[in-house]
Structure 1
Amino acid sequence: MSPRRSYDQYCSVARALDAVGDRWTLLIVRELLAGPRRYTDLHADLPGVSTDVLASRLKDMERDGMTARRRLPPPGAAYVYELTARGRELLPVLQALGTWGQAGLGERRPTDAVRAHWFALPLLRALEGEGLVEVLLGEGTFHLRVGAGDGPVYGDGPAPRDPDARLVLDSGTCTAIGRGESTVAAAVRAGRIEVTGDGTLAKALREA
């Protein structure tokens, strides 16, 4: 394993960038905020990354205490990567970057890949309260753990149990929320988001 490159500056920003400033590192964190992932799943949801670069980044992140690798018990018997507590501390960093990047998002380009769960973090920023939320888009389904204090904050696919709220919307509405052009409450009032469920969060959204 090659030695980690450093800016060699006695500054906390420089030290942070020593660990997460390489290309793909923060996007790997974005994927692992959904919980443990196999290497093949990470590679599939990071279009454009080479296998060598992904393997190198995961080794660096494990060395720096951001991720851990463990073997699933039989019958799975596969290795998965997951964030450590230190890695999960990067959630507000990604949230801040997402907010800062809203202005440059623009319209989707023909070359832009998209995954349904990439809308999870913008929606997570936009929702208040606590609860399990299932989100249905044309591109796919994912779920959010709003207000989660620990562990995964979102996941791909349907919610693992009956959600507190279920949101049905299109990617255009998600994009508008991510760009700050709309709020979730405003989209609900405009009929752009259908809300079902009996949880406190669902009722608050319908009454907003």
Structure 2
Amino acid sequence: MPRRRSYDQYCASARALDVVGDRWTLLIVRELLAGPRRYTDLHADLPGVSTDMLAGRLKDMEGAALVTRRRLPPPASAYVYELTPRGRELLPVLRALAEWGAPELEEPRPTDAVRAHWFAIPLIGALEGVVTGVVQVIVDEGDFHVRIGGDGPSSYGDGPPADPADVLLRTDSATCRALAGGEVTLAEAVRDGRIEVVGDGPPAGELRARLLPVPVN
């Protein structure tokens, strides 16, 4: 499908922006990195986007081979959008943007919408090297899960994982923001009581043993 617009510059960055530089496109990618979504779900988690704009962006992304649309089997019989392998390759791009943009968060503005899974991308960096497996994170706004380590790159999903998580963390959006901005480490947040490691299984116990100070007799 021919591009509707282009910078017409023989530059890799310009070519990338030809594909994903339009308003809302990368935020749609952010939503779909959390898993396949119905159109209505996408619209609900992208406050401010019009239905015409969302439909147009999804059509453009299908044409650019970033997104595919498929029908779920009965009894659902609904259509969902999901990223292609090419689309999923944008996760490092969004991670870099989140790291760069974290200092801009400051305190939420009265007009700011908040979704729990929006904290997943900046938290991946804070969890890598400390936790391995599936981590479910519960905040006041809801929960999400992050998959760290394993055979593929780190990933995330909205809501709880399909199977029980290896580790469950309970915290709040302010701590997530501090982790994203590098103001506090995961170990410091656990030691200060800002993050609670929930569960009695081996992964949770190992994480506590790694992060909490050893009592001195």
Over the matched positions of the two proteins, sequence identity in percent amounts to: 65
Take 2:116 and 2:108, find their aligned partners in 1: how far apart are those partners? Answer: 14
Deviations 1:27-74 (A, max 9, x none): 000000111000000000000000001001001111101111101111
Aligned equivalent of 1:59: 59
**Contact kept? 1:131, 1:201, Cα under 8 Å:** no
Aligned equivalent of 2:81: 81
Identify which of 154, 157, 166 aligns with 1:155: 157
1:179 CA drift (Å): 1.7
Aligned equivalent of 1:140: 142
Take 1:20 and 1:118, find their aligned partners in 2: how far apart are those partners? Answer: 19
Q: Flag structure 2 segments of 5+ consecutive residues without an equivalent.
A: 212-217
1:201 CA drift (Å): 6.6
Q: Give the ranges of 4+ consecutive aligned residues of structure 1 lying more than 3 Å apart after TM superposition.
A: 148-152, 199-202
1:203 aligns with 2:206: yes
Take 1:190 and 1:12, find their aligned partners in 2: how far apart are those partners? Answer: 45
Question: Which structure has the greater CA radius of gyration?
Answer: 2
Alpha-carbon spacing, 1:206–1:117, altered in 2? closer, same or farther (3 Å): farther
Aligned equivalent of 1:188: 190
Alpha-carbon spacing, 1:205–1:96, altered in 2? closer, same or farther (3 Å): farther
Alpha-carbon spacing, 1:151–1:46, altered in 2? closer, same or farther (3 Å): farther
Take 1:39 and 1:151, find their aligned partners in 2: how far apart are those partners? Answer: 26
Matched positions, count:
208
Could you say what secondary structure the match of 1:70 adopts? Answer: strand
Q: Flag structure 1 segments of 5+ consecutive residues without an equivalent.
A: none
1:113 aligns with 2:113: yes
Structure 2 counterpart of 1:207, one-letter code: R
Deviations 1:59-111 (A, max 9, x none): 11111011111011111111100000000000000000000101211211001
- The TM-score, its normalising length taken from structure 2, stands at 0.89
Deviations 1:161-194 (A, max 9, x none): 2211000011111111112211111101111101
Aligned equivalent of 1:176: 178
RMSD of aligned residue pairs (Cα, Å)? 1.9
Take 1:106 and 1:92, find their aligned partners in 2: how far apart are those partners? Answer: 23
Structure 1 residues 19-28 or 170-179, which shifts more? 170-179
Could you say what secondary structure the match of 2:168 adopts? Answer: strand
Take 1:132 and 1:152, find their aligned partners in 2: how far apart are those partners? Answer: 10
Take 2:207 and 2:171, find their aligned partners in 1: how far apart are those partners? Answer: 17
